[in-house]
């Protein structure tokens, strides 16, 4: 039986969840469900498309 993972929300958190799910379970089927017509719409308008990442996120 193959693993199927559904992500609700096509924003930044949804995309990171999908990436993490695929890294953790490479053979799984991962799908993202988004209600709006465009994925990552808020990321595209925030911080000039850079998603407002701050130095607190740097390692």
Averaged in consecutive runs of 10 residues, what is the pLDDT profile of the chain (59 residues)? 92 91 96 87 67 59
SS3 31: strand
pLDDT of residue 7: 97
59 within some domain: no
Q: Is residue 58 part of a domain?
A: no
Question: Which residues span the domain enclosing 15?
Answer: 4-51
pTM: 0.70
Answer whether residue 35 is part of any domain: yes
Contacts of 14 (CB under 8 A, 6+ apart): 7, 8, 32, 34
Could you give the CA distance from residue 18 to residue 11 in angstroms, rounded to a whole number? Answer: 11
C-alpha span between 18 and 32 (Å, rounded): 7
């Amino acid at each position: 039986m193959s693993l199927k993972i559904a992500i609700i929300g096509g924003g930044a958190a949804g995309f990171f969840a999908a990436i993490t799910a695929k890294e953790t379970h490479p053979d799984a089927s991962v799908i993202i469900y988004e209600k709006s017509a465009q994925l990552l719409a808020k990321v595209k308008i925030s911080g000039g498309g850079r998603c407002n990442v701050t130095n607190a996120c740097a390692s």
